[in-house]
Amino acid sequence: MKKEIIHILCAGLLTVGGMIPATAYAQGAENTEETAARTVTVHVDKPGNLENLVPISVWEDQVDTMKISGELNSYDLRWVRRFCGSDEYGAFYPTQLKKMDLSEATIVPDEEATKTYYILTDDQGTDREYSVEKDKPTLLPDKLFFNCCSIESLVLPKNIREIGIGAFFKCFALKEIVMPDEITHIYSTAFGVCDALETIKLPSHLVHLGGYAFTHCSHLRELTFPDNLTQLHMRMFDQAAMLTTIHFPKNLKELDKETFYGATGLVELEIPEGITSLPKGCIGSCSNLKKVVLPASLKEINESAFQDDHLLETVVFKEGLQKIDIYAFKNCENLHDVALPNSLTDIANEAFIDCKNMSNLTLGTGLKTIGEKAFFHNHGIKSLTFPDGMKTIDYAAFAECMGLEKVDFGRGIPELVQNPFLGCFGLKEFVVSEENEKFATADGVLYARDFTQVYSYPNGKESKTFVMNDQTRSLDDFSFWYCKNLEEITFSPAFDEFGARAFCGCENLKKLTVRKATPVENYGMDDVFEGVKFANCTLVVPVGSKEAYQASPTWNRFQIEEEVVDGLGVAHHDGWILKDNGSTVRVENIAGDCATVTVHHVSGQLMARTVPVGGNAMFDASAWTRGVYIITLQGADGTRTRRFVHQ
């Protein structure tokens, strides 16, 4: 095609206003430097005629700048694309032309008889012909300059008011776009992969800028949005590696999902006032982002909003925020010194999961719920204080926070779902207020207020032995999960219910002592003693109950021994004296710190409880049957227990 056109031009010696005559070109052909610097102007007198009016210097690639005026249809635009560096199939066609001025041109639809296309290229897996659309006289057509690899500067027609989808997509050399200030709409991917683009002046009348507008503009450094924009759309700055400064429009009200996703150039970002929601993935995978300041207008941070911002260190939260959704800060490994506002009520599942260096976490006073695994693997947290109004702390909410040492519930009475603190190997103690109506602690262990249930045993507690409170009837799920320091446990005589996988991972247990003749069975699907080394662990059971425990599917793997029971009469134990004469049981020389003295049958049945007077306690045993009984002294420093046989 090119050779044929050159032949026609030479034969006809066409002369067009501002265009170099063929004879002049021939005489000056030796001065290639001068020719390349010249500006060629072509006026199209009839749509579809551009091909015949272009001088030979353009076809022989000796022109640097070209201005085209007049009416251009789809066929003309095919040649405009060719001069800018791409053919009608979207393939590269490099040229020396660097600047194209279309300011005096207008784009018109084809006549039906001559209808053609300016590009034939793939559209989501199907070849599509792109032609100038009817009834859109002010639209710069979709993909008009797609893949034009040579052009560096474009001046758009003065009558343009909209820029179509992907109009400049993959114009790798494009550095300058001069647009009419009256443009109101620029559609998606318009400037995508304009790799050389460093700056751009957007029209002041712009009200819509589509998604992916500046995706992969790797040299774009600064961007100012006109004030008429109220919404920013999806992935506008994805992989814009040098974009460090964004000036937001004054009237901005809404961000689309993934608006800043992959904005790898951003180091600091301040979201303007007026934004009420950060949608899904809004600021995710910003690999160099270190600081974000949120507005007071913000009400919610949605799913994955900051996910995979690995260098993010500081987020400034302000009062007004109410909800943080699932995965919101997932994998923000360097996030620290988090002070959540008092207005925040809900933190969803895995919201801060794998924020490995999280430290100095402050929970606001209005917080109500913390979801499953919300702070899982946040190793930098050393202490937690929960607000009094907490309602729910879900399963594993703070699991495997390796640096966590202390948890303070104060007066808070939240529901704890399956031990939110399992696997916190540094956790040494739980603390509650004396006014707490739901929880109590003894030696750092978290119990129900009446001690009937163990909620959680601190993984990092250094003691090797644990004597369960005499009133304890049940264990919460995962209550002793991987408590590797524990070697000996004495169960309460009232104990009658396991929680799911309660002792899973307690691999160093050497001795368990149970105080019921009838084995308490685990009816759950999982092994309550998973990971325990049964060959190295002795189970001490009440006299006469060995066979029952050997037949138990829960207990039969242990090395089972029956307890050794004292005989009748007078016995001394840790300074106090037990006397059983058949009709009465008397305890003497009781220490002053002892609050209660309790007697249980070995089956777990409570027989009697009293408060010692003058260091003594007496029980009427005339109705007691023969058998093994357990007497427990409960004091401020723990419990002291003795077994005896009543005749």
In the chain the domains, ranked by start, together with CATH numbers, are 569-646 (2.60.40.3080)
Residue 566's pLDDT is: 54
CA distance linking residue 639 with residue 404, whole number of Å:
28
Q: Identify the CA nearest to 590 among candidates 565, 610, 562, 568.
A: 610
Strand-pair partners of 638: 635
CA distance linking residue 418 with residue 375, whole number of Å:
15
Cα dist from 108 to 114, 333, 485, 552, whole Å:
13, 55, 82, 89
- Residue 185, SS3? strand
Higher pLDDT, 3 or 320: 320
Mean pLDDT score of the chain: 91
- By the 8 A CB rule, do 528 and 504 touch? yes
CA distance linking residue 195 with residue 413, whole number of Å:
57
Q: Strand (E) positions, 124-210?
A: 126-130, 139-140, 153-155, 162-163, 176-178, 185-186, 208-209
Using H for helix, E for strand and C for coil, what is the string for 37-58?
CCEEEEEECCCCCHHHHCCHHH
Using H for helix, E for strand and C for coil, what is the string for 425-470?
CCCCEEEECCCCCCEEEECCEEEECCCCEEEECCCCCCCCEEECCC
Residue 38's pLDDT is: 81
- Residue in the block written with tokens 């163990």: 454
Residue 19's pLDDT is: 36
What backbone torsions phi and psi does residue 42 show, to the nearest 5 degrees? -125, 125
Is the pLDDT assigned to residue 144 strictly greater than 50? Answer: yes
Q: Which amino acid is at 638?
A: G
10: phi > 0 → left, psi -120 to 50 → alpha, else beta; which? alpha
pLDDT digits (tens, 9 = 90+) for 36-91: 458 899 999 999 999 999 999 999 999 999 999 999 999 999 999 999 999 999 99
Residue 30's pLDDT is: 44
Cα dist from 50 to 55, 67, 105, whole Å:
10, 12, 12
- By the 8 A CB rule, do 155 and 180 touch? no
> Where is 577: in which H helix or E strand?
strand 576-580
Is the pLDDT assigned to residue 404 strictly greater than 60? Answer: yes
- By the 8 A CB rule, do 2 and 59 touch? yes
The radius of gyration of the chain from alpha carbons, rounded to an integer in Å, stands at: 40
pTM of the model: 0.82
What backbone torsions phi and psi does residue 76 show, to the nearest 5 degrees? -65, -40
> Where is 595: in which H helix or E strand?
strand 594-601
CA distance linking residue 397 with residue 375, whole number of Å:
6
Is the pLDDT assigned to residue 27 strictly greater than 50? Answer: no
Q: Which amino acid is at 247?
A: H
Of 9-23, 107-121, 164-178, 362-376, the range with the lowest mean pLDDT is 9-23
Tell me how long the chain is: 647
Residue 605's pLDDT is: 82
Number of Cβ within a 10 Å radius of residue 571:
14
Residue 33's pLDDT is: 52
Residue 17's pLDDT is: 33
Strand-pair partners of 301: 278, 324
pLDDT band at 465 (very low <50, low <70, confident <90, very high): very high
- By the 8 A CB rule, do 377 and 356 touch? yes
Is the pLDDT assigned to residue 506 strictly greater than 50? Answer: yes
Q: Identify the CA nearest to 316 among candidates 285, 345, 295, 287.
A: 295
- Residue 583, SS3? coil
For the chain, how long is the longest CA-to-CA vector?
A: 137
CA distance linking residue 488 with residue 82, whole number of Å:
84
Is the pLDDT assigned to residue 29 strictly greater than 60? Answer: no
pLDDT digits (tens, 9 = 90+) for 231-274: 999 999 999 999 999 999 999 999 999 999 999 999 999 999 99
Q: Which amino acid is at 209?
A: L
Is the pLDDT assigned to residue 645 strictly greater than 90? Answer: no
pLDDT band at 639 (very low <50, low <70, confident <90, very high): confident
Q: Which residues of 129-154 are buried (b: 16+ CB within 10 A; e: fewer)?
A: ebbbeeeeebbbbbbbbbbbbbbbeb
Output the six-digit token pair for 52.
């015949």
Strands 119-123, 126-130: pairing kind: antiparallel
Q: Which residues of 37-53 are buried (b: 16+ CB within 10 A; e: fewer)?
A: ebebbbbbeebbbbbeb
Rounded to an integer, the average pLDDT of 301-318 is 98
pLDDT band at 570 (very low <50, low <70, confident <90, very high): low
Number of Cβ within a 10 Å radius of residue 186:
23
* Percent above pLDDT 70 for the chain: 92
pLDDT band at 630 (very low <50, low <70, confident <90, very high): confident
pLDDT band at 543 (very low <50, low <70, confident <90, very high): confident
Residue 573's pLDDT is: 58
CA distance linking residue 225 with residue 249, whole number of Å:
5
CA distance linking residue 209 with residue 233, whole number of Å:
7
Of 286-290, 418-422, 448-452, 586-590, the range with the lowest mean pLDDT is 586-590
Strand-pair partners of 410: 432
pLDDT digits (tens, 9 = 90+) for 44-56: 999 999 999 999 9
Number of Cβ within a 10 Å radius of residue 436:
17
CA distance linking residue 35 with residue 639, whole number of Å:
103
